[in-house]
Structure 1
C-alpha cells in the first residue's frame, strides 16, 4: 500500500514515513492506509496554496504558526468542503478598486438550503495528531542533519517546536472516558437472548422469510456472536473455512490479522443444517466460488445486507436498542470475555498482559494494539458502577417526616 499523487506517482517522503513508522513497526495495515490518506490531505492543502510541503519540511522554510492554523481548519472540514476550499485557493484573485460590503452578505435563501455536515470530532483530532507526528518526524530528521551550533539549526529548533505544539493544541479535545463508554458499548444478556430467539429459524418472532433466509441469517448471527468478528470478516467466510468436527472458524480475510477461532456446538450444528438443506442446492458456479453467505442465487451478500439484517431486527423486536449493529456484537463479545476472566479463580486467572495478548489474538488486533486495554478499562468502569450500586442498595432510606398538626393548631 502506497500513496500516489494525481499523476499516479508515489511521493517519496510520505511513503518512507509510513514504511518506517507504521509498516515496519508492526502497525495494522488499516491504520497505515488511514495515515497515508491523511498525509494526502496535507499535500492537497499545500498544493492548493501552490506549495510543495515536503520541500518546505525537508529543506525549505518549514511551516509557520499561520500555516498550521490554516491546515488544522482544513483537516476539520468534510471532504466536499475541502474540495471547495482547495478550488477557491486555486482561482486567480480579481482586482477591484471598490469593494461592496453587500456583495459579501450571504443570501438568506442560500443559508436555508445549506445542509450542515458534522464531522466526527475524534476523526478530526486523529487527523491532526497524525499530521503533527509527520511534521515532527521531518523536524527531528532535519534538525539531526544540521550543526547544533549553526544559527539555522537554532532557528529551526525554536520555530519547529512552536509550530508543532500549536498544531497539536488545535486538535479538538476528545473525552477518552466518554469515548470508551459510547463507542465500545455492547448489550446485556437479555438483549442477546431476545435476538437469539427472534433469529432462530421457525421462531414466531422471526421477521425474515422462512427457509433459506432464516437459516442463513441465524448463522450470520451465530458467527458474529461466537467470535466477535467484524462484519467484513464474516462476510468473506468460505464454506471451507469452517471445521464442523473441530468447531473452528478460520477468518482468512481480515483488515488486521487472519486467525482461527472456536465456535459453539449450536453454531456448528446451524452451519451443518444450512449447508445440507440450502447451500448445497445453490447453482454450481456459486458453490464453486465457495462463499458461505449469499442470496438465493448464490451472489455474495454486501456489507449493507449485514446492516439491513440488524435494522430489521431493531424495527421488529421490542427491547433491542437503536444502536444495535454488527459491530455491537463485537463489543458485546469483549464484555463477555472480560466477565469470563473475572469469574476465574485467582490462581487460574491470566495476568493483565496475558489477558490483553489473548484478546488481541482472538479479535485480530496486532500484538501491540491498545484496543484490548480500552475494552478492559470500560469493563472495570462497569464493574465499579455495579459495586457502588450495591453499596447504595444497602443504605436505608429515612422515613418521610410528617407535619405535626397539633403544633400547627397551637400557633
Structure 2
C-alpha cells in the first residue's frame, strides 16, 4: 500500500514540503536580514561604550537613511525578472539585465552619494553644534557606502535568482562579521563616528568584492553591450524599481508620522515603539525568505508555462504556519523580551499592554509582504505599492488632529488598523490578478 495515502501520509508529505521550503528560503532570509540585524547589534555595542558616540551614530544613520532607501530598495523589483531570465540557466538576457541594473542603480546611487556629500560640506560646525559637526564630518565617508550597497543589492538579487542563495548568505554573514569586528575595534580604541563610518565602508567593499567574484565564478557575468534595439530592456531596472522606491519611501514616512505621534507621550512610549519594531523585525526574519522564494518560483514557473497556483498557496500556508509559530514564541517569551529589549520599566509595561496589537501588526505585515512578493512575480508592481502608500497616506491625515490621543495605544492601534486595511486591499488585488492571468484558483 502507498504509505502516503490517508491523513497521516498527507501530513507527512506536507511536513517534508514545509521543511524543504524552509531550508530553501533560509539563505534568502539571512541575506535580507544580515545588514539590518548588524546595525541593531552595532548600535547596542556602541551604546555600551559611549552614549555620545551612540547619539552621533544614530543621527548619522538617520540623515543618510533616505539616500540608502532610494539607492537600494528598487532592486527587489528585479527579482522576478532575474528569475524569469534564469529559468533555463544563465542566459544572455540574464547577463544583459544584470549589466543594465548595475549601470542604472550604480548611476543613481552615485548621484545620491554626491548630493549627500555636498549637503554635508555646506554646513558650518559653528552653526550646527558639536554632535552635528561630528556627524557632518562622517557623512561624506558614509556616503561612499551608498553606491557600494546599491551594487551589492543588484548582485544579491541576481545571484539568488540564479540559484546561488546559500553562497550569497555566506558572503553576507562574512560581511556582517567583518563589520561588527571593525566597529568593535573602533569603539574599544575609543574611535569616533568618523572611524565607524570607515568601518562600514570597508565591510561594504569586502562584500562587493566577494559577490563580484561569486558572479564571475558562477558565470553570472553582466553584459554591458548597449544597443538601441535593446533600449527597453536597458530601462527595465528603472521601470520596475521606481514603484518599489515609492512604496518604501511611503512606508518610511508612515513610520516617521507614527513615531512623531508617539513621541508626544514621552520617552517611555518612544522606547516601547522601538521595542515593538524590534520584535516585528526579528520575528520576520524567517518570513522574508519564504516570500522572496515564492516570488522567484512563481516567476520561473510562469516563464516555463507551468501551473503557479499550487506553489502560491503552498508557500502561503507555510508562511502562515511559520507566522503562527513565531507569534507563539513571542508570546511565550514576552517576559524575557520586555526586559531584554528595553531597560525602562515603564516602557516595558507599555509594550506589554500593546503586545496583542503588535502581533496583529506582525501577522498583517507578513500577509501584505507575501501578497506584494507574488504580485511582483506577476509583473504587477505599481498598483500594489500605490494601494499601500495611498491608503496609509490618506488615512494618516487623521494624525494631524491628535486631540483625542492620550497614550501610546491611541496612536498605535489606528496605525495597525490602517495596515490591515491596506493589506486587505492588496490581497483583493492579488485575487483579481490571479483570476485574470491564472483563472484556476
TM-score interval w.r.t. the shorter chain? under 0.3
Computing the radius of gyration over CA atoms, which structure comes out larger, 1 or 2? 1
- Higher RCO, Cα 8 Å, sep 6+: 2
Query: If the length of structure 1 is used for normalisation, what is the TM-score?
Result: 0.24
